[in-house]
């Protein structure tokens, strides 16, 4: 709830007053586990997994970027119009 109107670029987990390196460690750890389980052949046989094709990864990255942009636009609108119904819903 602290970042309901603060932009990612002014309050992010990597530097500044919102610095939280635990988030960065979590991102790196989860990405490493996902890559190990899907790309190393021994894990593929143990867990019955296969590498994910790029055609399935790209839409997920695109939708993630779209959601990030929409959230930043929502926060911008809330900062610009703090008395609006959208700002009241955000709190």
**What pLDDT is stored for residue 2 in this prediction?**
60
Please check whether residue 84 is in contact with residue 90, taking contact to mean a CB–CB distance below 8 angstroms.
no
Among 22-26, 40-44, 62-66, 86-90, name the most confident range: 62-66
Predicted confidence (pLDDT) at residue 1 exceeds the cutoff of 70? no
Going by pLDDT thresholds of 50, 70 and 90, the confidence category of residue 10 is confident
DSSP assignment of 30-66, as one string? HHHHHHHHHHSHHHHHHHT--PPPHHHHHHHHHHHHH
Domain coordinates of the chain in residue numbers?
1-52, 53-90
> Mean pLDDT for the chain?
88
Task: Look up the pTM and report it.
Answer: 0.74
């Amino acid at each position: 709830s602290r970042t309901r109107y603060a932009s990612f670029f002014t309050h992010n987990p990597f530097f500044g007053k919102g610095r939280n390196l635990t988030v960065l460690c979590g991102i790196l750890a989860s990405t490493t586990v996902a890559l190990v389980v899907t790309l190393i052949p021994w894990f593929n046989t143990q867990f019955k997994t296969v590498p994910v094709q790029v055609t399935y990864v790209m839409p997920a990255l695109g939708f993630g970027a779209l959601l990030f942009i929409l959230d930043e636009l929502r926060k911008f609108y809330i900062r610009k119009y703090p008395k609006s119904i959208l700002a009241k819903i955000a709190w």
